[in-house]
Amino acid sequence: MSSPSNSSPTPIDRILNSQFTRFFIIGFLILLLQIPTLMLFGLVNDRQKVRQAAVEDITGKWGKQQVIVGPRLLVPYIKRTGSAEKKNLKSVQKVATFLPNDLNIAGKMQTEKRHRGIFQVPVYTTDLTLSGQFEAPDFSAWGVQKADIQWNRAELMIQISDTRAISDQVNVKWNKATVPFDPGLGKLQSGGKILSLSPIAPSQTGSRLPKTQLTSINSGSGIHARLNNQLKAETKSYQFSIPLQLRGSESMDFIPMGKLTQVHLDSDWANPSFQGNWLPEKPEVTKDGFKAKWQIPFLGRNFPQQWSSDRPIADDVIYKSSFGVDLFSPVDNYHMAERSIKYNFLFLVLTFAVLWLFEVTAGLRVHPLQYLMVGVAMSMFYLLQLAISEHLGFHYAYAIASFAVVLLITGYTMSVLRAKRRGGIVGVMQVCLYSYLYVVLASQDYSLLLGSIGLFGFLAIVMFLTRRIDWFNPSGTQPRLEGD
């Protein structure tokens, strides 16, 4: 910083010392500091990818996000076309799909956190019981003769997105009989499109794995039970019960396959995020876990209770009816870091504006390099926050990073502005800015409102403090007269 000179300024000095020129220099510095801001965005994305690799390593061995589709009853039949008289009689095997009249799913979910390096992923073990009732299959809508129905080849199928995570042998209690499940979707699955559950590309905006996507192909992951002679034409209804021990991670979703689907899910996870087309009825969420209950009639979905392989139901139609729960992490460090970096431009503008006002009102000179030092220190806040949050969490990281940066900038500006009072004003302003940012990050739903009010308030303060400055001669050597 230099003191005002008594010698007569040259034209070049007048240009360099004019506030208009200083304004453009400061603006250029702010734009220059957007380069490290862009690098910070890239760093956040890189750390997200590293975490994603750790998550996939854990979930690939424990169990991925689980989606349960079923059970559904598959019954083959013969479709005849033409006539024997014209000698053009043809017989083609078709498959009819029937959904349960009642479907009750009760489950107890035990959660834990698995670590890979500094990263952790919520995983769970669930004891589920799928029970309910199938009505006797009705083929009258397709004009099928009783003799053409192959009851002895019927299969019961359940799709599970990651069957590797099934913990024990699965059997179905079908009326009074017990039938074991076999791996795969069975021989009848090729009779119509079957949902295939596969993960999609990772999200760039969040840390958790994305929702499971269902693709329209004729293979998938699941289990099936060959009912053989357990399905008979004269039986009016069938009761079933299926105990299922299943591991998974991050989320569990269901499809309402019953005419009336009821799901009861208890867990020790204290931060659930309920997703899908239906929310649970009055869920109980406490620090010890949650209890959730869904009751969904089939009128709320967009597919029927039965269909034939002649006119199969599209995969995406079925999956759009999914619902369930995510094991939500209360604070996503990378998402918070990405949101906070977006405020860097605004904070630079406000801080540089305060330094510039000290130049104008106190007759000081702050070198562009000194502006740059303050801007780099402010950019370091986001790097510190990101690095520390991976070890201590967002809240502690934010407090430590903001305290360090405010202390650094306050001490530096006290020296630059040649007064503890002026440096203290800059420090108080930094405290206000980072406190304001924390409130905005913690209140995502109100971030736009808080941002608008904060920006308006700062503009009002600047206008009030500069209302008497003569911008044509801010040094005050030739003050303008009122009324000129």
- pLDDT tens, 357-416? 888 777 778 888 999 999 999 999 999 999 998 888 888 999 999 999 999 999 999 988
pLDDT at 215 over 70: no
The burial class, CB within 10 Å (0-12 / 13-18 / 19+), for 236 is exposed
**Mean pLDDT lowest for which of 118-122, 207-211, 219-223, 231-235?**
207-211
Contact between 349 and 331 under an 8 Å Cβ cutoff? The reply is no
For residue range 176-201, list pLDDT tens digits in order. Answer: 899 999 998 888 875 444 444 444 33
Q: Is 348 exposed, middle or buried (0-12, 13-18, 19+ CB in 10 A)?
A: buried
Maximum Cα interatomic distance, the chain, rounded to a whole number of Å: 120
Question: What pLDDT is attached to residue 228?
Answer: 84
pLDDT attached to residue 156: 94
Does 122 or 215 have the greater pLDDT score?
122
Q: What is the pLDDT of residues 32-43, one digit of tens each?
A: 998 988 998 888
Segment 308-363, tens digit of pLDDT: 988 888 777 888 899 999 987 666 788 888 888 888 888 898 888 888 888 877 77
**3-class SS of residue 9:** coil
Rounded-to-integer distance, Cα 184 and Cα 129, Å: 20
The structure tokens listed for 156 are: 């019961």
Give residue-wise pLDDT tens across range 426-482: 888 899 888 888 888 877 667 778 778 877 887 787 778 777 766 666 555 444 444
Q: Say yes or no to pLDDT of 145 above 90.
A: no
State the average pLDDT over residues 272-281: 90
- Could you tell me where the beta strands, DSSP code E, fall in 237-370? 237-249, 251-254, 260-267, 272-276, 284-286, 289-297, 306-308, 323-327
User: What does R_g of the chain's alpha carbons equal in angstroms?
Assistant: 34
260 and 298 in contact (C-beta within 8 Å)?
yes
Pick 268 or 314 by higher pLDDT.
268
Cα angle 151-144-192, degrees, rounded to a multiple of 5 = 70
pLDDT for position 484: 43
- C-alpha 319/C-alpha 302 separation (Å) is 10
- For residue 8, name the pLDDT band (cuts at 50, 70, 90): low
* Vertex 480 angle, CA 479 and 482, to 5°: 130
Asked if residue 183 has a cis previous peptide bond (ω within 30° of 0), the answer is no
Give residue 480's pLDDT.
Answer: 44
